[in-house]
A = this chain, B = another copy of it.
Amino acid sequence: MTTPSNKLPARAIIREVGLRDGLQSIATILSTAHKHTWIRAAYAAGQREIEVGSFVPARLLPQLADTAELVAYARTFPDLFVSVLVPNLRGAEDAIAANADLMIVPLSASHAHSLANLRKTPEDVVAEVARIRAARDAAGSRILIEGGVGTAFGCTLQGQVEKREVLRLMQALLDAGADRVSMADTVGYADPAMVRDLFEDALRIAGDRFWCGHFHDTRGLGLANVYAALEVGVTRFDACLAGIGGCPHAPGASGNVATEDLAYMLGSMGIQTGIDVQQLLALRAQAAQWLAGETLHGSLWQAGLPKTFTAAAAVAA
């Protein structure tokens, strides 16, 4: 048996997506005041990248109707990198006007999921990214455009999604003007071997423009998948406080990787995240009160940090 060397990155970034991916999939509508508290506490705990919401019509996602206000609030924190999701040019114009740092345009590599979830083909999304890029440049904005390839490991509607197709669409997003690309296991179909295989190729193609891995923990493999991605050099991961989230159009796809569990795993391995896990656990306890009645996830909050956990490596900025 070959024993490959295990060169893990020295640092990694957790992008908090609970305020968007998490809140969009649950019934509770969190007040803007509670979202402010969340952003403030996440920042205090050391988080420096937060996706605060989505520029979609408020009638579709009333939970996220205060996104512009949240961008403005989040922008008041020094060095906080503020992301938003935009489904189309209309949303991108809002994101440009709100002065976010990055806007994520979701594309679903599964044709069936794309039609069900976005009511567009993947090609339509690529064309929209080209229009978004033109609008961004015309506005003289510096907001980054991230093309997010979802259902990258398969789909509950269509089943198999070919790797070749996933990489082709990733390349198409870059060609259309996306500054960054990322990949999402929207429905929790990935395993560590699949992650390694796809991400190695994605990194070869996109290099530093490969931005982020987004894993749902639907079948318990979320953290194993993150570990496999770390091994091939990916250093940015989406996560939701308390593991909330999912996809309304992908049955059974519940729960992003829990931010606090991921921060613990990274910190335990000596990978710097800048995050104080204890503070995150305190924030989780607070969020659990706001979200009373919702199903939360994650493991660390029950057992607490190991006696052996030394935060030193994790919190060193």
Contacts and interface: CB of A to CB of B under 8 A. Distances in A.
Contacts of A252: 302-304
A83 B200 CA distance: 41
Interface string A40-63: 000000000000000000000000
A150 interface: no
A3 B232 contact: yes
Contact of A3 (B160, B224, B233): B233
Interface in A264-317: 264-265, 268-270, 298-300, 302-304, 306-308
A182 interface: no
A193 B266 CA distance: 10
B220 A298 contact: yes
A3 B200 contact: yes
A171 interface: no
Interface string A1-45: 111111111000000000000000000000000000000000000
A217 B221 CA distance: 12
Given A156-B307, A191-B269, A269-B193, A1 B9 contact: yes
Given A154-B308, A306-B189, A308-B154, A300 B220 contact: yes
Contact of A188 (B189, B194, B226, B303): B303
Interface of A: 1-9, 153-156, 159-160, 187-189, 191-194, 196, 200, 217-221, 223-224, 226-228, 231-233, 252-254, 258, 261, 264-265, 268-270, 298-300, 302-304, 306-308
